[in-house]
Amino acid sequence: MTIYNFSAGPAVLPKAVLEIAQSEMLDYKNSGMSVMELSHRSSLFEEIIQAAESLLRELMAIPDNYKVLFLQGGASLQFSMVPLNLAQGKKALYVSTGSWSKKAISAAKALDNVEVEVIASSEDKNFTYIPELPETVDQNAAYVHITTNNTIEGTAFAKIPNFGKVPVVADMSSNILANDYKVEDFGVIYAGAQKNIGPAGLTVVIIREDLLNQEAVFAPMLDYALQAKNDSLYNTPPTYAIYIAKLVFEWVKAQGGVAGITEKDQQKAQLLYDTIEKSKLFTSPVRKDSRSITNIPFVTGDDALDKAFNQAALAEGFENLKGHRSVGGMRASLYNAFPTEGVEALVAFMAKFEKENG
């Protein structure tokens, strides 16, 4: 049976990438060692990390005045690192669009000398839309934080706001390399790798150089400037995850880059949204103009039927379709590596289920 993995993360990786990793597992480039066994100071690993960075720069057209950092601690550590580095003694503005932005807000609030203000929220309707943002914000604020794609709720920012000299900081964990956002529109972008980049354990941070703090942050590992000065090698980085990320970046490039991938992602999402729109059984809880092409929740409106669907889907090899416990129903995460055939199989299965249960 073919298994289709709809997991929200860690998520499906390109099979071609896993095959290369398999072929290089025991002996990387005649070194007699696995990548896992290479010193992070070796020339072979230096080639890997430098290639990973230059490929990401090429794929996202990252301008020269931005640093690329390969860190650890997940996107969740960035919830604290961003305010620690950018907002000490200042005001930090947040847009609240879901569970993950709420966690980012709580982490910033936990710091004594950061003043947090939520400038827009969609919590009134269970985060089922992207809220209207104010045209202008306090120009003395350190940044405005947004979550470009809300993994749990299935919403995404179609347009990145501009607040003059106040930089936009984005948690792009679930749609990095899936939307052709312009890096120039952001001061900081961060993303946990385990969706569109590679294995868990790696966090990518892209930061405009003028935002690197001039004063040292109290803990060296949490200091962007120090990490940048050491080219992400201040300590031992997650070497194997960086190696897989490099292979994924090569794969994205071979798919026509981010533009090619986005086009394919849009087609996959359209197939599922069209099915939901036509269905008399399934509905999308998300307002049309706010829909994510990456994480697509859908419900029947009847918990017992949702449960029956999820059980029947599992038996057919559709793994991890169960919706997040806060939303219920189903959620299909269609990351870059998720194959079109998997969406075709899912919509055929949905039609069959509707016929039998509608």
Compute the least distance from the CB of residue 326 to ligand PMP, in Å. 13
In the list 66, 100, 181, 309, the residue contacting ligand PMP (rule: CB under 6 A) is 100
Nearer to ligand PMP, 171 or 265 (CB): 171
Specify the stretch interacting with ligand PMP by CB under 6 A; choose among 127-135, 171-179, 240-248, 339-347.
171-179
Q: Does 76 bind ligand PMP (CB under 6 A)?
A: yes
Task: Report the residue number whose CB is nearest to ligand PMP.
Answer: 74
90, 124, 125, 171: the active-site residue: 171
How many angstroms from the chain centroid is the CA of residue 117?
24
Shortest gap between Cβ of 208 and ligand PMP (angstroms)?
Answer: 20
The CA distances from residue 311 to 305, 318, 320, 331, 339, in Å, are 10, 9, 11, 14, 22
One of 14, 74, 167, 237 touching ligand PMP (CB under 6 A):
74
Cβ 151 to ligand PMP, closest distance in Å? 3
Give me the catalytic one of 195, 246, 268, 322.
195
Q: Which is nearer to ligand PMP, 109 or 307 (CB)?
A: 109
User: Could you say which residues in the range 13-32 bind ligand PMP, by CB under 6 A?
Assistant: none
Nearest to 316 by CA among 16, 95, 3, 55: 3
How far is the C-alpha of 305 from the C-alpha of 136, rounded, in Å? 46
Instruction: Considering the complex, state which of residue 147 and residue 300 has its C-beta at the smaller distance from ligand PMP.
Output: 147
Q: How many residues bind ligand PMP (CB under 6 A)?
A: 11
Given 29, 91, 100, 278, the catalytic residue = 100
- Contact pick of 174, 239, 262, 320 for ligand PMP (by CB under 6 A): 174
Out of 9, 167, 199, 329, point to the residue binding ligand PMP (CB under 6 A): 9
192 touches ligand PMP by CB under 6 A: yes
Q: Is 66 in the site for ligand PMP (CB under 6 A)?
A: no
Q: Output the smallest distance, CB 71 to ligand PMP, in A.
A: 11
CB of 50 to ligand PMP, least distance (A): 24
Q: What is the 3-state secondary structure (H, E, C) of the chain?
A: CCCEECCCCCCCCCHHHHHHHHHHCCCHHHCCCCHHHCCCCCHHHHHHHHHHHHHHHHHHCCCCCEEEEEECCHHHHHHHHHHHHHCCCCEEEEEECCHHHHHHHHHHHCCCCCEEEEEEECHHHCCCCCCCCCCCCCCCCCEEEEECEECCCCEECCCCCCECCECEEEECCCCCCCCCCCHHHCCEEEEECCCCCCCCCCEEEEEEHHHCCCCCCCCHHHCHHHHHHCCCCCCCCCHHHHHHHHHHHHHHHHCCHHHHHHHHHHHHHHHHHHHHHHCCCCECCCCHHHECCCEEEEECCCHHHHHHHHHHHHHCCEECCECCCCCCCEEEECCCCCCHHHHHHHHHHHHHHHHHHC
7 part of the interface to ligand PMP, by CB under 6 A: no
Q: Does the footprint of ligand PMP cover residue 83 (CB under 6 A)?
A: no
Q: Which of 4, 83, 166, 171 binds ligand PMP (CB under 6 A)?
A: 171
Catalytic residue check, 195: yes
Closest distance to ligand PMP from the beta carbon of 172 (Å): 8
Q: Interface with ligand PMP by CB under 6 A: which residues?
A: 9, 74-76, 100, 147, 151, 171, 173-174, 192
Which positions are annotated as active-site residues? Answer: 100, 171, 195
